[in-house]
Amino acid sequence: MTKIKARVIIEMLGAPQEYIEKTLKDYIEKLKKDGIKIVKETIEPAQKQNELFSTFAELDIEFDKIEDLLGFCFDSMPSSVEILEPEGLSLSAADLSGYLNDLQAKLHEIDMVVKTTRAQNRVLDKNAMNVFKNFVKYLCREGMTTEEMSKIIGIEARQLQKFVDILVKEDKIKKEGDKYLKK
């Protein structure tokens, strides 16, 4: 059977710059140790993107069969795949069905991870908000201004004011003059 040659791009995003560059190089070395035949590699230096760094590698890889290429794609999630050789490939309907089912299984797995992560984030956000509200109420036990609370909490007074106003509306604290007191 004819070998399949493909050019793939693997991207990484992270910080600090040295870490993300080393991580990409280490990942390529792991691919080689796992038996992936990389015939050419080009690694670009990381570029700053906001607070993070982005880098990528362009790899020419030789695969013995299409199953190996697809397995690589599922495991490595390259951002781009270009088949260099051969110009044409043929698949049986059964093979194509198997590949499509593998793709669907991977997509369902990713969808479950995303949904689980979203649910966990909602719980964490709710818990963090409750802790924050309790901390503000605690600070108000002897009376404090928003500016005084801001210095302790580390949040700008105008941003903190939104939460303080919510606690006043919820009747958890009250305002007397420029100070807030726990009820």
Q: State the average pLDDT over residues 80-94.
A: 91
60/57 Cα distance (integer angstroms): 10
122/27 Cα distance (integer angstroms): 33
- pLDDT surpassing 80 at residue 94: yes
> Domains, the chain, ranges and CATH?
4-86 (3.30.70), 116-182 (1.10.10)
6/31 Cα distance (integer angstroms): 15
Give 96's pLDDT tier (boundaries 50, 70, 90).
Answer: confident
Distance (Å) of CA 31 to CA 26, 36, 79, 96: 9, 5, 16, 26
pLDDT digits 0-9 by tens, 29-55: 999 999 999 999 999 999 999 899 999
Give 1's pLDDT tier (boundaries 50, 70, 90).
Answer: low
- pLDDT surpassing 80 at residue 149: yes
Pairing of strands 173-176, 80-85: unpaired
Q: Please give the structure tokens belonging to residue 110.
A: 């990713």
pLDDT digits 0-9 by tens, 53-67: 999 999 999 999 888
Torsion sign, CA atoms 94, 96, 97, 99: positive
Write the DSSP symbol of residue 46.
Answer: P
